Structure 1
């Protein structure tokens, strides 16, 4: 299956001294500036009415997945651009660019949670084209090997016996085609109450994941556990449940370098706690995999 990786349009600077920049900083996991930073931005706009903005870059710290940070950086860009767009000149072919966590970062996390404006002064407008060397968008095509999945697989047990498992090829195709940063829920992944023991009816889900991992040798994942109902995961069940799936894959031949596991407790609920219905509790009580590499 063909897919495309787009490298964002960027601006290289021929005359570094002619381009200036200013940054505004965000709280962790927020894309709206706090009062003090917003005040700084508004004051800067008041003083610099005649400048021209040529780029808005968004950054995040390393906390969270690459996909999550990429989305957060985009939201920060959109927020700041919404404030400046009618108050200063902006280059017509201006492009918003975000770097997520993929940039040279500071050891101080707070310094990485920012949006940076790049701009030029009125005196340099006449030399604008010399200052900015626009690089065209580059599209790199990568070929993923086509994977054909069967409805029934035969697995060999350690004692030499075989096990026929009917599995869901739809899920496996989704995993094989998912992009880096994408998360997929392991549907019907159930555990015995207050334990990390997997219920027998969930075995097919485990074998579906095992099959796609064997069929896609470049695939790397993070297994993420979540619980419902309580604010604190005192027994660390979310981690233990994610680990149980990790150990199953390892036992069946998947190299440890291709997978990690983590438990989030109830810190990332899909529905606010306390849940109102069993459907909400079931949605929060889940195991997901995040694509790390493919």
Structure 2
């Protein structure tokens, strides 16, 4: 059985894919033909992610019996796919029994349906599922932001600045650097990616954004944080907050920034 469950309502407005297998009357295991279809689906979707499995029955039998049978069908599929296809952490199984829009063809009602997201769409997973990320109050201290952050959350490191056209960190940045260090020390399983951004130019030919991210990592490593916990990337001018060329210094300052992305907690 899969242990982590969440109520995930599925409706036609979602863009996830779906795949159904069909059961014999009063059965909760699959005949060979349907089992082969399921195995084929698993092979083709080893890099997809399952978000839910729903179970259904026809109207033969009592409501209580059908609810139980529908759940047994879900359990059969859940056990069969375990460790074969990635499953969303808040995955949910649901048994509808006969309480759904029944087909006139009873055989079509004896089924379990897998809802999943293709590998190519995983970057849009929450968007597809209609899940909105809660915004973290920008005024919170860094350690509070980290507590609220989830994997994939990007946090601006305020008050980290560099001397013009270099990757040398200014002395007034020390407070922000030590805030980050304390967060890493107090969250020993935390892994981050430091992301550098620059402003005001047409291209990052000198890879200054990457060097600035590396410089922040050098500080952390020098203070005892293992390099395996800190990766770096330089986005150059590819992800500006304001269009380049910026209209004023305020916009330029916003564009030249260092952020961290939560890789794991």
**TM-score, scaled relative to structure 2:** 0.53
Work out whether 1:244 is the aligned partner of 2:215.
Answer: yes
Say whether 1:127 aligns with 2:98: no
Does structure 2 conserve the Cα–Cα contact (< 8 Å) formed by 1:176 and 1:212? no
Summarize the Cα distance change of 1:277–1:254 in structure 2 as closer, same or farther, 3 Å threshold: same
Distance 1:200 1:177 in 2: 29
Seen in structure 2, the aligned counterparts of structure 1 residues 254 and 14 have a Cα distance that, compared at 3 Å, is same
Cα separation, 1, equivalents of 2:172 and 2:212: 16
1:259-284 deviations in Å (ceiling 9; x for gaps) = 10010100111111111111111111
SS of structure 1 residue aligned to 2:147: helix
* Separation (CA, whole Å) in 1 of partners of 2:228 and 2:104: 52
Mind listing any 5+ residue stretches in structure 2 that lack a counterpart?
11-17, 23-33, 38-44, 50-84, 87-101, 116-138
Q: Secondary structure at the match of 1:262?
A: strand
Offset from partner CA, 1:10-54 (integer Å, 9 cap, x none): 86633359x9xxxxxxxxxxxxxxxxxxxxxxxxxxxxxxxxxxx
Are residues 124 and 234 of structure 1, via their aligned partners in 2, closer, same or farther at CA, if it must alter by over 3 Å? Answer: farther
Residues 13 and 218 of structure 1: CA distance in aligned 2, closer, same or farther (over 3 Å)? same
State the TM-score, normalizing by the size of structure 1: 0.48
Secondary structure of the equivalent of 2:141? helix
Equivalent residue number for residue 38 of structure 1? none
SS, match of residue 184 in structure 2: helix
| 1:215 paired to 2:215 | no
Q: 2-side partners of 1:279 and 1:128: how far apart? A: 62
Is structure 2 residue 243 aligned with structure 1 residue 264? no
Flag structure 1 segments of 5+ consecutive residues without an equivalent: 20-56, 61-69, 71-102, 105-121, 136-167
Q: Match for 1:13 among 13, 20, 25?
A: 20
Deviates more, 1:258-267 or 1:6-15: 6-15
Instruction: Say whether residues 1:187 and 2:194 are aligned partners.
Output: no
Q: Secondary structure at the match of 1:14?
A: strand
In 2, Cα distance between the equivalents of 1:132 and 1:211?
49
Q: Which has the larger radius of gyration?
A: 2
After superposition, the C-alpha distances for 1:221-241 in whole angstroms (9 at most, x for unaligned) are: 000000011121111110000
Cα RMSD of the aligned pairs, angstroms, is: 3.7
Distance 1:201 1:230 in 2: 25
Aligned equivalents of 2:241, 2:167: Cα separation in 1: 21
Aligned to 1:228: 199
Gap change, CA 1:131 and 1:227, over 3 Å in 2: same
Q: What is the Cα deviation at residue 132 of structure 1?
A: 2.6
Would you tell me which structure has more strand in proportion to its own residues?
1
Cα separation, 2, equivalents of 1:124 and 1:261: 58
Which residue does 2:60 correspond to in 1?
none
Counterpart of 1:280 in structure 2 is 251
